[in-house]
Amino acid sequence: MTIPLLITQQVLSAFTNNLGATNGHSPPLCPTNSSTSTTPTNATMHTPHLQGLPSDFPSLISIFISFSALRQSIKVLLLGGLVDIFRRLVVHLYRTIYRSFFITGSFITNDYEAYSWIDSWLRQQKPWKLAHDIHISVDPTSDETDINYAFSFGQPKGPSIWDKVSIYPTTTEGISLWYKRHWVWVDRIVETDSQGVESSRILNLTILAWSRKVLDCLMLDAKKAHRLNEHRGICVYAAKFKYSEYQWWHMACRAKRSLQSIVLDPGVKDTLLEDARDFLASKQWYDSRGIPFRRGYLLYGAPGSGKSSLIHSIAGELKLNVYVMSLSGVGLDDDALRELVSSLPTRCILLMEDIDVALSNPFNRDPKKKDGKSSPSTTTSMPAPPALPRSRVTLSGLLNALDGIAAAEGRLLFATTNKYDALDPALCRPGRMDLHIEFKLASRYQAAQFFKYFFSPEGHQKKEESGVCAKTSGKADDTSSTILTSQVVTVGGVRHRHDLPDLSSTELSLLADLFSEAVPEREFSMASLQGYLMRYKADPHGAVAGIAEWASKEKGRREQ
Ligand SMILES: Nc1ncnc2c1ncn2[C@@H]1O[C@H](COP(=O)(O)OP(=O)(O)OP(=O)(O)O)[C@@H](O)[C@H]1O
């Protein structure tokens, strides 16, 4: 306590001395009681009272200014202020000049759509391809990436490595390139979280230009480049929990699958495709009537009957990207679901697979159905699924996400399920699921058509091109090898080119009839028929000869 008081005392005495000096007489500071010590020792000291202080403000200021220490401080303060103002001015000037000469655009992976545009565009730029100090990352979700990558070095005309492999200049080295006579500097920043795990990537483009139009132009080109990339096939995005939230992540670009390769009962494909086409072309009609511009399709029925394949094929036909989500995603809740659905682009397919299995609250509000008593055999005969960590999506959360106020417009929803009866009627009502399409086990008609397509020369080629026959199994070839293109591609010594015998269409029809006669009606899935035919890729006669035995064996195995 005493030290500050002493300092105060010193300051005051200096002040009054100074005052005295200015007034020309002895210091007026004196304790009222002369018997009290002038050196204060504790807090009970007397407050000195000042005499001769001018009462007007300007003279008080001039007295204060007459303090040399105070004068110095004010000088320092003013000088510091001036320096700071100068610094700010310089920074402002620099920024103004910089901004008027350079346009800067940032693209972050969290906004994947814009990021992928610029990413596609950059991959086409020569300096980007020729960068020396590079970082290579292979798309981990693509099973073809490394093979294509390896092969394309040996075969310049083969599949482009740029489709599959991400090549970036390292973070330390940026890249300079030219765009419409404007110099562009591109640098990449990789942000990491507290554990050092990459959390996002940012691409910064600095363009030497006066007008922002250059960036707008570049974005348009980037968008075109991306669309061009996409239209070689369809891009699949998946809802993934990354960086502490659910986001859409680009998973892979898949070749289109021809609609012909999917064999369904007559009229099914056409109805669905026409309906989807008609919907996409009717935005005005919906708008003028105030009806939300959304359409939902529920594909249900036997496993392996072509539900997912048909969606894939329709996406290719309509040139739409597919956004896949599983409602049983761990940690997915109503809020995350709503955000995911509302962040969908305007024209796309939202695919919700196995929509029945996911909710923490059972879909079915009917208590009788909940215990499975009133459900048909499909529901009751299924073994109970193993207890997995459940998502926190509720039925009302799902319904809100699908047609709530924030729900995306212009999207086609495809939901698939093997348990139609387990679905809540609210979910299936028109407006949410407008068309319900049942997929049954293979009919004889389907078996015959599939046989014809499988062994027809065009079908054979198309099937290979579309990458449908991803896995082989059985006699004719070794198992689990990948057919990538219609070229002869040998992986691990396995041959994937099959020479079909020349069959006239009459012969093929005859064989198809024989084949279908041996297939019992609605007993096998199309997937299992495909599995059987894969054993006889180049041997239609063998396929016909063996089908009856295979069918009876399969039947016996199932009965057992
Ligand atoms: N109708 C069909 N026409 C042609 N191929 C089919 C058909 N149905 C199934 N397949 C083939 O069977 C395999 C599995 O088909 P897909 O995944 O589309 O069935 P799914 O009905 O979606 O099955 P799940 O309900 O188990 O998901 C695919 O390789 C596909 O080529």
For the stretch 328-362, pLDDT in tens is 877 788 888 888 888 888 888 999 988 887 654 44
Domain presence at residue 312: yes
303 CB less than 6 Å from ligand 1?
Answer: yes
**Residue 526: CB within 6 Å of ligand 1?**
yes
Give me the pLDDT at residue 275, please.
94
Q: Is the minimum distance from the CB of 447 to ligand 1 under 6 angstroms?
A: no
Same domain (yes/no): 388, 280: yes
In a domain, 75, yes or no: no
Domain boundary among 170, 199, 233: 233
Q: Say yes or no: 292 and 154 in one domain.
A: no
Are 36 and 131 contained in the same domain? no
Q: Where a domain ends, among 233, 267, 296?
A: 233
What pairing do the DSSP bridges indicate for beta strands 134-138 and 165-169?
Answer: antiparallel
The reply to whether 209 and 137 lie within a common domain is yes
Same domain, 418 and 271: yes
Judge if 481 and 459 occupy the same domain.
yes
Residue stretches of the chain with pLDDT short of 70 = 1-54, 65, 137-172, 197-198, 229-232, 243, 358-391, 405-406, 458-499
- Considering only CA atoms, which of 22, 23, 40 is closest in space to residue 31? 40
Query: How many domains is the chain built from?
Result: 4
Residue 325 lies in a domain: yes
DSSP string computed for 168-233: EE-TT--EEEEETTEEEEEEEEEEE-TTS-EEEEEEEEEEE-SSTHHHHHHHHHHHHHHHHHHHTE
d(CA 440, CA 485): 31
Q: Which domain holds residue 53?
A: 2-66
Using the mean position of ligand 1's atoms as its centre, give its distance from the Cα of residue 170 in Å: 43
Q: What is the CATH number of the domain that holds 263?
A: 3.40.50.300
Residue 89 domain flag: no
Predicted local confidence at residue 354, as pLDDT: 86
Residue 84 lies in a domain: no
312 CB within 6 A, ligand 1: no
- Beta bridge partners of residue 184, listed in sequence order: 177, 207
Residue located nearest, by CA, to atom 11 of ligand 1 = 527
- What is the number of the ligand 1 atom nearest to the C-alpha of 531? 12
Q: Is residue 95 included in any domain, yes or no? A: no
**CA atoms within 13 Å, Cβ hemisphere of 92:** 6
* CA 387 to ligand 1 centroid distance, Å: 26
Distance of CA 307 from the midpoint of ligand 1 (Å): 6
CB 377 within 8 A of CB 440: no
Q: What is the pLDDT of residue 364?
A: 39
Same domain, 314 and 197: no
Nearest atom (ligand 1) to Cα of 261: 4
Atom of ligand 1 nearest to the CA of 299: 21
Mark whether 352 and 425 lie in a shared domain: yes
The last residue of one of the domains, among 410, 439, 468, is 439
In a domain, 546, yes or no: yes
Residues 356 and 261 in one domain: yes
| Same domain? 427 vs 464 | no
Beta carbon of 307 within 6 Å of any ligand 1 atom:
yes
pLDDT in the model for residue 77? 92
Are 228 and 268 in a shared domain? no
Would you state the pLDDT for residue 62? Answer: 77
For ligand 1, atom 26, name the residue with the nearest CA.
303
Is there a single domain that holds both residue 165 and residue 289?
no
pLDDT of residue 124: 82
**If you measure from the C-alpha of residue 166 to the centroid of ligand 1, how many angstroms do you get, rounded to a whole number?**
31
For the chain, give percent helix, strand, coil, nearest 5. Answer: 45, 15, 40
**How far apart are alpha carbons 412 and 346 in whole angstroms?**
9
Asked if the structure places residue 86 within a domain, the reply is no
In this prediction, residue 122 carries a pLDDT of: 86
Q: Please say whether the beta carbons of 455 and 503 come within 8 A.
A: yes
